[in-house]
Amino acid sequence: MRASAFSFSQRLALDACTQCGQCLDVCPAVAAAGDAGLSAQMRLAGLKRLLRDQNGFWQNLLETFGAAPRVDAARLDEYGTSVFRCSLCGDCQEICPVGLPLKDLWLDVRRELAGTGHAPAKTRAIRANLEGSHNVFDEDNDERADWLDNMRKAPRNLVRRQADIVYFTGCVGAYFPLAQKIPMALVQILVNAGSDFTIMGADEWCCGFPLLGSGQPDALAEIIAHNVAEVKRRKASTVVFTCPSCLQIWKEVYTREADLDDIRLVHASELVADLVRDKALTFEEQAEDSEPLLVTYHDPCDLGRGSRVFDEPRAILSALPGVKLVEMAHHGRHSLCCGGGGNLEMIDPALSTAMARRKVEEAQATGASTIVTTCQQCVRTMTTYVRRNKLGLEVLDLTQMVAKALAQPKAPKPEDKPKAEARAAQ
């Protein structure tokens, strides 16, 4: 564990921590596991001890003469396991009264642990999958657009050479059956609005976000260069994402490594909010005496705290006929993590499930029958918990809610059928 692996501001943060414990109070892993050792406060103290023990003056001097060993590997492995039992939700940074840059620090700690061989062995499979098949599931990347085959009325020629909007589907939406309904719903919305868009199919590679979470950002360069080149080849002015993690890495990493000044990067909720505002979408009218559908909205960590998108999803829900929003106790900046981030399911699936349980129970307390969110991973994590426990809740992505509310084309009246048939024959 090298002190030089961390910036001056990050090393300063170790001493700037006031040990106030506010991060401990909001940490979803601590609450779910009942283990204060998972808090940012305890991890900072542990990192400080490791850097002191491994990089102190006397330690370095004695080691030069072979009289003092470095910190033993078992201790680093133990710390590494703790660091990777974090969903990277970012609420510790959000609540920190000193404003410590904690999320980037956790990513750099993971990078150092992975680089020195002290990250959990499972994380190495992420790199192997992305280098071999260009997706996190190690599936055939030529099948990335196969979800279109499951659409009832899939648009023709959706993988096009040129379009104004590129929809970057992401690995979870492309391959995971439970999440494939989300890209289907967005396609339905964009078609309904008459948008000029395309998907990239097999030309799309994983965005690389899993590499950041596993401490392996050095493998990102080729991925970034490829994805940016494919978007530019289609002459797109906008890239839209249904996955908040894909959006976040494009906004925070891709923009540092590539020229994207002429390309707008937006989450689907932002784009759909624009369409709703411009009245580009038409919704089915609801009967005046019908009971409203009670929904609660879950702010995904990477979209809310990560990209500061809070208002647009709520604006869309307020525009949907027959829908009433009730907020959970924790929402917005301090929304509870669903347990699906930071590769946590790979490292500690039981902890991930415990976090999902806490999230779902909070949603149940609102009395809502539907949990709406804006993230494939959140939908997958919460739906899995709901189904396993046979709970009377529905979990939907916001795109699914919007697609269900769209006005359906009216069938031609009997007297109009001859005209319609004549036009079809031309």
pLDDT tens, 306-357?
Answer: 999 999 999 999 999 999 999 999 999 999 999 999 999 999 999 999 999 9
Residues 191-202, mean pLDDT to the nearest whole number: 96
Q: Is the pLDDT of residue 111 over 50?
A: yes
Q: Do 243 and 367 have their domain in common?
A: no
For the ranges 104-113, 144-153, 307-316, the lowest mean pLDDT is seen at 144-153
Residues 98-117, mean pLDDT to the nearest whole number: 93
Give the CATH number for residue 79. Answer: 1.10.1060
Q: Do 316 and 330 have their domain in common?
A: yes
Q: What is the mean pLDDT of the chain?
A: 91
Output the pLDDT for position 423: 46
Cβ neighbourhood burial of 278 (10 Å; 0-12, 13-18, 19+): exposed
Q: Do 132 and 263 have their domain in common?
A: yes
Q: Do 48 and 86 have their domain in common?
A: yes
What confidence tens digit (pLDDT) does each residue in 247-287 have? 999 999 999 999 999 999 999 999 999 999 999 999 988 87
| pTM > 0.85 | yes
What confidence tens digit (pLDDT) does each residue in 394-409 have? 999 999 999 999 987 6
Give the CATH number for residue 137. Answer: 3.40.50
Q: Which of 251, 139, 222 lies closest to 230 in space, CA to CA?
A: 222
- Residue 413 included in any domain: no
Output the pLDDT for position 424: 45
What confidence tens digit (pLDDT) does each residue in 216-246 have? 999 999 999 999 999 999 999 999 999 999 9
Highest mean pLDDT among 54-63, 115-124, 207-216, 401-410: 207-216
For the ranges 39-43, 47-51, 321-325, the lowest mean pLDDT is seen at 47-51
Q: Which of 277, 308, 336 is the last residue of a domain?
A: 277
- Residue 199: which domain range? 123-277
Total domains present in the chain: 3
